Amino acid sequence: MSRLYRTVFIIWIVLRFGLDELVLSSFKKPGLRLLIRVLTVGRNLSSPRAVRLRQALEHLGPIFVKFGQVLSTRRDLLPEDISDELAKLQDRVPPFASEIAVATIEKSFGRKVDDIFIEFQRTPVASASIAQVHFALLATKGGGRREVAVKVIRPGMLSVIEKDLDLMRMMAGWVERLFEDGKRLKPREVVKEFDNHLHDELDLVREASNAAQLRRNMEGLDLVLIPEMIWDYCHTNVIVMERMNGVPINQVERLIQAGVDITQLAKDGVTLFFTQVFRDGFFHADMHPGNIQVSIDKETLGRYISLDFGIVGTLTEFDKEYLAQNFTAFFRRDYKRVAQLHIESGWVPAQTKVNELETAIRAVCEPYFDRPLKEISLGLVLMRLFQTSRRFNVEIQPQLVLLQKTLLNIEGLGRQLDPELDLWSTAKPFLEKWMSEQVGPRKFWDQIKDEAPLYAKMLPALPRLFYEYLKHSPQDLRVDLNKLIDEQRHTNKLMQRFMWTVIGFVAGILIMQYFVQSQFG
């Protein structure tokens, strides 16, 4: 019944805000125009279409708001009015009452807000689908004051998310059963990935730990600032962190006036993303403009400021290596290697012909090389990639859904910052360097050092473990001593022959060297 109620509610919101009219009006056929007039009789749809779309997504809940946030970064795909209005979903979702925020804080820490903070601003500075943020002043141990940001979870989120996820699971089952590509697209697994990440986002302690890990990973890179978590004031529903001061990344004119090099900022963003993905396998996966700012302080001018770490992506070593090899081959235009990697990884059936897949990949990718972002039609690329994946039965990889979403965010931000950015030439040197580090002597030595403590612990224990094994398995380990002696003699003879062969080989080299020196020296 909950699915039925949620479905009815969604349909009611669609009709209330005229989203059906918004979709149908994009078609130019006269018959549809007449249908629109019939459907809109008796409904007040005087508000602009973009406003109605934003309000509908806000009413539908956090999953739909996040969908709108992703769309807001894709100004190449949406009309300007809709992009501008959806941008408000990044940090300007209608806030919940400050009294509720205060009550949540006091319940979480068992103390009055005025006993925790020297000053607490009741009006939130940002409000999103899952939580909202208030600024405050916190007393330090030395008697000083520290500016902090207090993030408070929005009440009632769990039940709303559960209803939407339940509905998505049902729809995923329909897609899997009713559509030809259903099983290949793995809708159930994709929904499960979203389920995991959305539930993680409701635990603010997990978010704080994500921030701490990213902060450690980014030390020394000098490209990004990440707030420090104040662990004495971190709870499932509330976290207190260092207050960051920056300019939202989509306010390009303001950044230029502050002296930020926008071209370099765009390049740094590419480097930052690929570092998190391929070096660390741990990346910020909610990179819309509401969560990304830029520092305009003199000491850190032009550095990124990352916020909101409720959703992070992780990659296994296999995924990292496979993706890096794909990107490297792609940037080198080695389409045959890209095709081989897809077959080796099991993404396409083993019987797929390499040359046919290579030709298809080349046809999709080649037209977009050496072009700036402004000349790339992502919609056309995605359409052709989907056609190719369907033809060759490419399986969707649910564990990479977050990475694909983040790539859309990154490309959208890059397009806003520097439409002239050549994504390929910017990313290629980084990936080639990373690949050389993964397969070179340095990587081998690092692995040896990482495993050394394990080897040091195991070696002294081997005689005891071997003795215990012999002690507990007497029936299975009765050995014919004569056979062991014969085997040892045979081994000794082989070793003697091997040693004489080595000695003869070395002697031959020395004689040859002496002969060459005497003749040509």
91, 164, 268, 286: which is the annotated catalytic residue? 286
Q: What percent of the chain has pLDDT over 70?
A: 70
Half-sphere exposure of 320 (CA within 13 A, CB side): 19
Q: Give the residue from 481, 458, 477 showing the smallest Cα distance to 469.
A: 477
Mean pLDDT of 292-315: 91
For residue range 346-365, list pLDDT tens digits in order. 777 888 888 988 898 888 87
For residue 125, is pLDDT > 90?
yes
Mean pLDDT along residues 492-519: 55
Residue 238 pLDDT exceeds 50: yes
Q: How far apart are the first and last CA of the chain?
A: 95
Banded model confidence at residue 491, pLDDT cuts 50, 70, 90: low
Residue 80 has pLDDT above 70, yes or no: yes
Q: Is 181 a catalytic residue?
A: no
Asked whether residue 481 carries a pLDDT value surpassing 60, the answer given is no
Position 38 scores a pLDDT of 57
Q: What is the C-alpha to C-alpha distance for residues 71 and 412, in angstroms, rounded to an integer?
A: 9
| pLDDT level of residue 241 (50, 70, 90 thresholds) | very high
- Domain coordinates of the chain in residue numbers? 2-89, 159-196, 246-439, 479-520
Residue 488 pLDDT more than 90?
no
